[in-house]
């Protein structure tokens, strides 16, 4: 019998209880041991639940109970989750977490403690909800030099963009609908401004390239400025707009890490990831492109990943996981202005011809984009070659000074 | 230093050497040990290779060398691969294999030996080439009751079908092209008749449902009878034709396992798996649908999976893998005639109206399918409800007796 303690009985935590109870028999078989939830930490009361007797409000009960082998953290947020997780490990308890903020911010430190104390610290649920991605990356694809990862990592924004693309719904209307359906929070900023995707790409980048990438090192743009006009222009370029988290290893050993809306090819594997689904593309030297697809959030999909980790942890209580990465450092992530991309640009200009000339001079060949009923003073194009981000910014601010309005600017990625 | 022996220096085997040499540094770091290829077993000579000194022709050298910890089998075929693998394990050596025929036929027996001798027997490369699927299924998704798995498991047939769908190429022309490009063997029967996909779905079914499913228990249909007319009719039903391996758990505890061409929804995740790519959809009670996508064959993708297993094996030389399934039994896989599907049927009938009436009477509501320039005596429809396979066969043979030609018959699956 393995005793576990659950921290947090919100959406994910209650899902963990549900999955452990519903599939108890097969889980016991797979874990080769009986898994029992001894405590559930939550400040709220749940007297109506059949397992109401397991609730405690004081973490020290869990911390000081030597019977508890595994602590499952589903509270979210940095504090007190970080403090509880750290304290648990210092008491020799294995930890499973679904908390992306915790791993993206403190992963290197917590993995180091896990290694020193010979414990598992597992977080499959922190990226891609129920989609297996952490374990495939560090086990199945271990033979590869991974070049890059690009993922649709946030279901809320993917739902909004899908509505904009498929039904010509405005950003605001699509957001309203996402909120009504419970896909978006009342304060949707962490989703629509890209912060959620940022934490997830930090975790993937840290895991694959071995050094911690912190959220504040990542240039992050959300989707709040994407308009239906951009959607239509993207279509004329044979693409669709997706919010991507992307990390790429550069030739000089640094990383380019970014969260931004991007135009991806309509026939590519990421374009077909729609609604609240997530999709993560991994490009390796031996395997080529592999894509992982599924529900990136929600009660049961996330609980599926958490409980999968618990089973793995229980199977190997005496056996340490070799998962780890080092602390990060300043300058490890390249300033995005020194990286290059292809770009789509939309402008409102009194002298479009003059703008086109300066654009061609600066960026080389251009591909024109089109939409129905565009005003005469609007032009949109995509660069055929990659442009240094800093050079584009300089050009854009020059155009602005000259009175041209830059209405849209979106990267084109080759997925 | 861990010594390994490689059996077979064909496409996959030579890829394994290439990956181990190219990524030696990062692989050593991940495996926490230096991996050295001590022997390569092959009957051919490769004097031009820089590692020519490693070749041996006599398996007993490997079998009797106690320094060899891991045997990597990339020979393919059942014999002598089975004999060598078994002998290796009886001598206490871990085994990694890419051999789907071996695992689909002898998996239960070899896993039992591995368990008794406390050894790893790993075969990630046997299904889906480089796509991580075996490990995600038994680790990451372990919390789920899996309901069903449906996969595009054979790249050759998917390439042919893609050419038929996208470019209206005939089956024969597409097959010729696949052979020219090296995607299909000179004798393409194992691919186009579904045997290759059959072995792979056997492995997935055995792994997920815990009891061996043998290839001879699986109703297997290839794509040789699929015509461009069927492709066009499928399009009118908003679908595309894919060769699927599918396993589904039935309410009575039996399995339905099948390999067959199937019409899947045009907007679904399997429809967008094109060319030589594979895609595997797993449906679980907690996670919902997840899809794994990538290159299902080829030298380096397959080597990627083999070397991933070798790394995992080396990391846990002292630690047994809990992977196993029991021997199968007669009657475990349900006779396909006692399972049900929706069906598309295409007929050539002198009295189409009469056929339609008997079809409606037997199967309930029908959805008509259309194509341009169809002869007047051709009709095609899809059933709206599921039909017991045996009942459909009875109807079809009755129609045939009455002089109606049944030109096509394809299942419709809900993916």
**Does the pLDDT at position A133 exceed 80?**
yes
**Known catalytic membership, residue B100:** no
Do the Cβ atoms of A135 and B131 come within 8 Å?
no
Q: Which residues contact B43 (CB under 8 A, 6 or more apart)?
A: B57
- Residue A317 pLDDT class (50, 70, 90 cuts): confident
Indicate which residue of A38, A54, A93, A200 is catalytic: A200
Given its phi and psi angles, is residue B13 left (phi above 0), alpha (psi -120 to 50 degrees) or beta? alpha
Do the Cβ atoms of B304 and A144 come within 8 Å?
yes
Do the Cβ atoms of A304 and B139 come within 8 Å?
no
Please name every residue paired with A297 in a beta bridge, in sequence order, or none if there are none. Answer: none
Establish how many alpha carbons lie within 13 A of residue B99's alpha carbon, considering only the half-sphere containing its beta carbon.
30
Residue pair A18/A49 in contact (Cβ under 8 Å)? The answer is: no
Secondary structure of residue A396 in the 3-state scheme: helix
Q: What radius of gyration do chain A's Cα atoms show?
A: 23
- HEC string for B222-258: CCCCCCHHHHHHHHHCCEEEEEEEEEEECCCCCEEEE
CA distance B134 to chain A (A): 9
Residue pair A90/A109 in contact (Cβ under 8 Å)? The answer is: no
Question: Is the C-alpha dihedral spanning A332, A336, A337, A342 positive or negative?
Answer: positive
Q: Is A130 on the interface with B (CB under 8 A)?
A: yes
pLDDT per residue as tens digits for the range A144-154: 999 999 999 99
pLDDT per residue as tens digits for the range B35-77: 999 999 999 999 999 999 999 999 999 999 999 999 999 999 9
Residue A415 DSSP one-character state: -
pLDDT per residue as tens digits for the range B261-299: 999 999 899 999 999 999 999 999 999 999 999 999 999
Q: Is B402 on the interface with A (CB under 8 A)?
A: no
CA angle, residues A276, B279, B129, in degrees to nearest 5:
135
Secondary structure of residue B7 in the 3-state scheme: strand
> Quick one: average pLDDT of A408-412?
96
Judging contacts by C-beta atoms under 8 Å, the chain B residues touching residue A315 are 322
Across the interface, of A285, A286, A304, the residue whose CB is closest to B286 is A304
> Quick one: average pLDDT of B369-393?
96
The CA distance from B387 to B412, in Å, is 11
Do the Cβ atoms of A15 and B286 come within 8 Å?
yes
Secondary structure of residue B209 in the 3-state scheme: helix
What length is written for chain A?
Answer: 415
Q: Alpha helix locations (H) across A238-351?
A: 299-315
- Residue B319 pLDDT class (50, 70, 90 cuts): low
Residue pair B310/B188 in contact (Cβ under 8 Å)? The answer is: no
Place of tokens 């990831």: A273
Please name every residue paired with B211 in a beta bridge, in sequence order, or none if there are none. Answer: B326
pLDDT per residue as tens digits for the range B102-142: 999 999 999 999 999 999 999 999 999 999 999 999 889 99
Residue from A384, A165, A374 nearest A266 by CA: A165
Do the Cβ atoms of B308 and A141 come within 8 Å?
yes
Q: Residue A318: what pLDDT?
A: 64
Tokens encoding B375 = 């002869």
Given its phi and psi angles, is residue B214 left (phi above 0), alpha (psi -120 to 50 degrees) or beta? beta
Establish how many alpha carbons lie within 13 A of residue A15's alpha carbon, considering only the half-sphere containing its beta carbon.
27
**Integer CA distances (angstroms), B28 to A91, A127, B32, B72, in order:** 32, 27, 6, 17
What length is written for chain B?
Answer: 415
- What percent of chain B is modeled with pLDDT above 90? 93
The beta-strand segments (E) located in B172-238 are 219-220
Tokens encoding A98 = 């679904």
- What percent of chain A is modeled with pLDDT above 70? 99
**Does the pLDDT at position B244 exceed 90?**
yes
Cis peptide bond N-terminal to A80, omega within 30: yes
This complex has an ipTM of: 0.92
> Quick one: average pLDDT of B241-251?
97
**Does the pLDDT at position A326 exceed 60?**
yes
Pairing of strands B288-295, B277-284: antiparallel
**Does the pLDDT at position B321 exceed 70?**
no
Q: Residue B315: what pLDDT?
A: 86
Tokens encoding A399 = 């155009």
Residue B139 DSSP one-character state: I
CA distance A19 to chain B (A): 7
Do the Cβ atoms of B287 and A305 come within 8 Å?
yes
- Residue A323 pLDDT class (50, 70, 90 cuts): confident
- Residue A324 pLDDT class (50, 70, 90 cuts): confident
Chain B residue closest to A300 (CA)? B286
Across the interface, of A286, A311, A315, the residue whose CB is closest to B143 is A311
Helix (H) or strand (E) holding B399: helix B389-401
Secondary structure of residue B151 in the 3-state scheme: strand
Q: Residue A234: what pLDDT?
A: 98
**Does the pLDDT at position A320 exceed 60?**
no
Tokens encoding B320 = 């047994």
Tokens encoding B23 = 């990524």
Judging contacts by C-beta atoms under 8 Å, the chain A residues touching residue B125 are none
> Quick one: average pLDDT of B365-382?
96
**Does the pLDDT at position A330 exceed 80?**
yes
Do the Cβ atoms of B142 and A307 come within 8 Å?
yes
Judging contacts by C-beta atoms under 8 Å, the chain A residues touching residue B288 are 130, 294-295, 300-301
Chain A residue closest to B293 (CA)? A291
> Quick one: average pLDDT of B207-221?
96
Residue from A175, A180, A176 nearest A154 by CA: A175
CA distance B360 to chain A (A): 36
A residues 250-309 closer than 8 Å to B (CB): 269, 272, 284-295, 300-301, 303-308
> Quick one: average pLDDT of A344-352?
94
CA distance B226 to chain A (A): 24
Q: Is A405 on the interface with B (CB under 8 A)?
A: no
- Residue A58 pLDDT class (50, 70, 90 cuts): very high
- What percent of chain B is modeled with pLDDT above 70? 99
Indicate which residue of B93, B100, B200, B334 is catalytic: B200
**Does the pLDDT at position A53 exceed 70?**
yes
Tokens encoding B160 = 């042919």
| Torsion from C-alpha of A292, A296, A298, A304, nearest 10 degrees | 40
Mean pLDDT of chain A: 95
Do the Cβ atoms of A316 and B319 come within 8 Å?
yes
Q: Residue A400: what pLDDT?
A: 94
The CA distance from A329 to A268, in Å, is 34
Across the interface, of B136, B288, B295, the residue whose CB is closest to A135 is B136
Chain A residue closest to B136 (CA)? A132
Do the Cβ atoms of B291 and A288 come within 8 Å?
no
Question: Which segment of A112-121, B195-204, B338-347 scores lowest on mean pLDDT?
Answer: A112-121
Do the Cβ atoms of B136 and A141 come within 8 Å?
no
Secondary structure of residue B166 in the 3-state scheme: helix
Across the interface, of B23, B132, B315, the residue whose CB is closest to A140 is B132
């Amino acid at each position: 019998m393995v005793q576990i303690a659950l921290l947090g009985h919100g959406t994910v935590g209650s899902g963990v209880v549900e999955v452990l109870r519903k599939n108890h028999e097969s889980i016991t078989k797979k874990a080769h041991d009986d898994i029992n939830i001894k405590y559930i930490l939550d400040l709220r009361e749940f007297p109506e639940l059949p397992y109401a007797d397991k609730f405690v409000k004081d973490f020290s009960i869990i911390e000081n109970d030597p019977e508890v082998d595994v602590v499952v953290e589903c509270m979210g947020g940095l504090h007190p989750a970080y403090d509880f997780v750290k304290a648990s490990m210092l008491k020799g308890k294995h930890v499973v977490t679904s908390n992306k903020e915790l791993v993206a911010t403190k992963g290197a430190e917590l993995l180091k403690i896990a290694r020193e104390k010979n414990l598992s610290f597992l977080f499959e649920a922190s990226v891609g909800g129920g989609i297996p991605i952490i374990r495939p990356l560090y086990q199945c694809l271990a033979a590869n030099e991974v070049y890059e990862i690009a993922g649709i990592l946030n279901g809320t924004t993917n739902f909004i963009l899908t509505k904009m693309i498929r039904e010509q719904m405005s950003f605001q209307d699509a957001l309203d609908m996402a909120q009504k359906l419970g896909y978006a929070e009342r304060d949707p900023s962490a989703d629509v401004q890209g912060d959620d995707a940022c934490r997830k790409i930090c975790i993937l980048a840290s895991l694959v390239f071995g050094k911690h990438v912190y959220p504040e090192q990542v240039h992050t743009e959300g989707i709040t400025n994407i308009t239906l006009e951009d959607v239509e222009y993207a279509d004329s370029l044979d693409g669709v707009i997706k919010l991507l988290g992307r990390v790429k290893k550069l030739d000089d050993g640094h990383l380019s890490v970014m969260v931004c809306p991007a135009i991806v090819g309509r026939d590519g594997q990421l374009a077909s990831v729609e609604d609240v689904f997530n999709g993560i593309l991994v490009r390796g030297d031996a395997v080529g492109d592999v894509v992982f697809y599924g529900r990136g959030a929600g009660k049961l999909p996330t609980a599926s990943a958490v409980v999968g980790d618990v089973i793995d942890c229980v199977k190997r209580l005496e056996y340490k996981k070799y998962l780890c990465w080092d602390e990060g450092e300043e300058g490890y992530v390249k300033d995005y202005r020194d990286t290059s991309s292809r770009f789509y640009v939309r402008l409102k200009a009194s002298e479009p011809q003059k703008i086109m000339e300066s654009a061609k001079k600066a960026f080389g060949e251009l591909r024109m984009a089109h939409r129905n009923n565009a005003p005469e003073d609007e032009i949109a194009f995509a660069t055929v070659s990659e442009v240094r981000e800093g050079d584009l910014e300089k050009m854009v601010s020059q155009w602005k000074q000259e009175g041209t309005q830059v209405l849209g600017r979106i990267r084109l990625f080759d997925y």
